[in-house]
Amino acid sequence: GAGVSQSPSNKVTEKGKDVELRCDPISGHTALYWYRQSLGQGLEFLIYFQGNSAPDKSGLPSDRFSAERTGGSVSTLTIQRTQQEDSAVYLCASSLAGSVGDTQYFGPGTRLTVL
Amino acid sequence: KQEVTQIPAALSVPEGENLVLNCSFTDSAIYNLQWFRQDPGKGLTSLLLIQSSQREQTSGRLNASLDKSSGRSTLYIAASQPGDSATYLCAAPSGGYALNFGKGTSLLVTP
């Protein structure tokens, strides 16, 4: 079946603009995760959804970052007033039940460049 | 918080060689450990997941081991091929559901 999809694949924006990144998880997966991969920083966790609620937002770097999930499916990560340090690859993953032992399946990512 | 470290950061080997990638973690109360592959400009592909009750997992030419007492996991690749060239990442859950990743080992297999 279809894997995790993300759009857009690439986004170039100017400093100060808002951006929205979209994630479509694998059908039937209740858990959804957002990660960020920056050059030299590795992968860092941003936020976790179980259904439509986000019990763990601990990784969001500032209040400019927010995310929502509707219908237990699609999720949108919004970055307001983008800064150059927001440039990174944003990866989305989903898992079947959100249990600690679940395998997480990753999408191809959105490469964000803030000029 | 679970800290994950990978050594070496980069590795170049000739085709056909067997190789070992290393991953270390700080919390021996690890729930599981997962190895991923990342090709340039692509997302992550899960290779192997080892539960804390397991010592190793095998898939084709790949074998991953887990030693909780020493805080180490290794990924063994047999008879390497140029198509194995990629970045390999290990990750472990950190308390909750988030995965903590190492910074990866960039592998180049030369023909």
pLDDT digit string, tens, across residues A29-62: 999 999 999 987 789 999 999 999 888 888 899 9
Arithmetic mean of pLDDT, A3-8: 95
Give the other-Cβ count within 10 Å of B72's Cβ: 15
Chain B contacts of A33, Cβ < 8 Å? 97-99
Q: Which residue has the higher pLDDT, A33 or A100?
A: A33
Query: Are B43 and A108 an interchain contact pair (Cβ–Cβ within 8 Å)?
Result: yes
pLDDT (0 to 100) of residue B88: 98
CA distance B15 to A41: 30
- Distance CA(A33)–CA(A54), nearest Å, equals 10
Contact, A105 vs A2, CB < 8 A? no
Q: Across the interface, do B43 and A4 touch by the CB < 8 Å criterion?
A: yes
The mean pLDDT of chain A is 92
> What is the per-residue pLDDT for B95?
67
Instruction: Give the residue ranges of chain B where pLDDT is below 70.
Output: 95-96
Contacts A35 to B, Cβ<8 Å: 99
Percent pLDDT > 90 in chain A is 77
CA-based nearest residue to B91, from A42, A47, A36, A59: A42
Record: contact A91-B42, CB cut-off 8 A:
no
